Amino acid sequence: MMPARARLEQYADELRSRGSDDPAILASLCEVYWQLGRQPESVETYRSFLRHEAPAPDPDFDRIYVAGLLATGTSPTPTRRRARFIHLVELLRRTRDVPGAVVECGCFQGLSSFVMCSYLKQWAPGFDGSGYHVFDSFEGLSEPTLDDDIPETWDNAANLRLMSYAGNFAASLEQVRKNLAAFPRISFHKGWIPLCFAHLPEARYRFVHVDVDLYDPTLDAFNYFYPRLSAKGIIASDDYTWPGARTAIDDFCAERGITFDVTAHGQAVLVK
Ligand SMILES: C[S@@+](CC[C@H](N)C(=O)[O-])C[C@H]1O[C@@H](n2cnc3c(N)ncnc32)[C@H](O)[C@@H]1O
């Protein structure tokens, strides 16, 4: 039997020979190059893919996003991530004049933080990471519980099941610091949510991005940050498509009579 790598190389040849003008083929080629460790070709193919996508509202977005992929060693696929991040930036933009710090709970290799910090720098050229906080175990997801069970009928169930295990999405603090070196004053808080909130000084926050996928840490992050959010501040979860995170947000909001929006990209958004 042909070794896996040779099969992938053969598949890349086949995709290339099928032409460069079909976005579905370009997306597959991106993924195959990435799996082969051919990062520059993957990102170059992604640039071609982008020509088929609706332009971002901000003409700088794709430059920043691609710089983030390269800085954090993140695959361009899944390609639907771009639309979510465009929206994330628009949410962050809405809090530009709100007082308080900016937070991300769950950074993995730092891509979403790279994009948000790049915009904070664009809006305030002296921005060096001060007032930006990252909370993460740097050991990946915590243990899923019964609240994280993924029903058979759930949209994308098979994929979510593959991703939903303790330790997935682990990147070391040392690596993430390097990936985000352009913003040297970011405050990194290593530890499990909610333990890593225990000794924080009281502070106000204007924007909190929660991307920890599971029920417990999502609920814990909302419990901690929502009361500390400034008026007109936003807490947004990336994960309304994950059963555990969705139930946590539903439970949190139902208990307090809070309403929230869900974006077309599966983000839940609470404005205070
Ligand atoms: C999906 S990844 C985040 C992706 C990142 N926001 C991005 O878009 O580039 C989920 C992250 O949540 C972190 N995480 C999950 N459960 C956690 C917990 N209980 N405490 C701290 N971090 C946790 C993982 O370590 C991982 O970095």
Q: Cα of 20 to ligand 1 centre, how many Å?
A: 35
Of 3.40.190.10, 3.40.50.150, 1.10.1060.10, 3.40.50.1100, which CATH number belongs to 78-271?
A: 3.40.50.150
Q: How many CB atoms lie within 10 A of CB 247?
A: 16
pLDDT at 167: 94
pLDDT at 17: 87
Residue 12, φ and ψ in degrees, nearest 5: -60, -45
Q: Is the CB of 140 under 6 A from ligand 1?
A: yes
Residue 81 C-alpha from the chain's centroid: 8
Instruction: Give Cβ neighbours of residue 32 (< 8 Å, ≥ 6 apart).
Output: 8, 11, 12, 15
The encoded tokens of residue 163 equal: 């991703």
**Site of tokens 């070196």:** 181
Residue 268 C-alpha from the chain's centroid: 13
101-105 and 132-136 as β-strands: parallel, antiparallel, unpaired?
parallel
Ranges of the chain with pLDDT below 50: none
Q: Is the CB of 142 under 6 A from ligand 1?
A: yes
Q: Cα of 24 to ligand 1 centre, how many Å?
A: 29
Residues, the chain:
272
Torsion of CA 132, 136, 138, 143, to 10 degrees: -170
Query: Closest Cα partner for 218 from 200, 199, 241, 198?
Result: 241
CB 104 within 8 A of CB 138: no
Q: Cα of 123 to ligand 1 centre, how many Å?
A: 26
pLDDT at 4: 82
Q: Cα of 169 to ligand 1 centre, how many Å?
A: 7
pLDDT at 1: 65
Radius of gyration of the chain (CA): 19
CB 138 within 8 A of CB 173: yes
Query: Closest Cα partner for 104 from 239, 202, 241?
Result: 239
Sign of the alpha-carbon dihedral angle for 213, 64, 38, 81: positive
pLDDT at 16: 86
Instruction: Give Cβ neighbours of residue 76 (< 8 Å, ≥ 6 apart).
Output: 30, 34, 42, 43, 45, 46, 49, 69
Residue ranges per domain, the chain?
78-271
pLDDT at 20: 74
Query: Closest Cα partner for 133 from 216, 85, 204?
Result: 204
pLDDT at 99: 98
Q: Is the CB of 213 under 6 A from ligand 1?
A: yes
